[in-house]
Every structure is written in C-alpha cells, then in structure tokens.
Structure 1
Amino acid sequence: MNISLPDVLKNFVEEQVSSGKYSSASEYVRELVRAEQKNHEREKIELKLLEGLHSGEPVELNPDMWDGLRRRLRTRAKKAV
C-alpha cells in the first residue's frame, strides 16, 4: 500500500519517526490505524450502552460484570486484528 501525503503531513510523520518513538513511517501509520480501530470499537460499545440505557430495563453492573465485559471485548478485538 502506498500513501501520498502533502509535504506538511509528510514532515510531521518524519518528525515523529526522528523523535525515536517509532522506527519507521510505516510503524507510525500502523499505530494510528490501531488507535482508530480501538476508537471505533469504543464508539460501538458506547452506542450499545446507550441503547441499553434507553431500553428502560434497569440493570445493575458490578465490578465483576465490568471485568467480564472487558475480557470478552479484548478477546473479540484480538480476533478482529
């Protein structure tokens, strides 16, 4: 895959790489895509939670339920990658 960027964005990516945090422009872009994937999944979860809140059905969530939800979501996210 080739990506063309205007000079301003190309310079920014090169600055990120030269900062030492990333070993290449590809690594930087992969990190951005992963972050966007996480953000997208978070948005989907928030929508599901809002649907649940607006359903009118009361649900009490305890810490164990949250832990289980996080484990299931992490497993699902790993399978999606």
Structure 2
Amino acid sequence: MESFYKIEEPSKRTFPSLYGFGQPQNLDEYLKMKARQAEVIASEDSKGLGDRKYQGLLSHELNKVRKLEYFSKDIRKSI
C-alpha cells in the first residue's frame, strides 16, 4: 500500500501480498482486490469445515482489509 504514495508509475509498484491477482491502478482497487483475496483465503482454509467456519474466517480476513482501509484514510488525511 505504501507504494501508492511513494511510486508514481503504476507499473513499477509491487504487491507481493496480491500474488495471483492483477496489479491495482489505485488504492481503492487494491482494497477491493484484498477483499476478494480474503474470500479466497476463507474459502480455502475452511474447505470441509462447514459454513460457520467459513463465515468466521471470512469475517476475520475482512476485518484485516477494513483495518487497511482505515489506515489508508488516515494516511490520505496526513498528506
């Protein structure tokens, strides 16, 4: 996420945490990709464990994305 603020050229930004996903052009797109990634992680980690486990894992992963969103808003305000 830091690269959005330090690197002007989108093609030079790196996102190792988005392995297997495209390269976002802006911060909002990045957060949407992180939310989709949270769904994939929850789905993979809960295989065979039922819907309740999936919902718990999804909630946990989306909470991480929400924290990133709040953090990015704080950074935007300080710039």
Query: Structure 1 length normalisation: TM-score?
Result: 0.36
The structure, 1 or 2, with the larger RCO (C-alpha pairs under 8 Å, 6+ apart) is 2
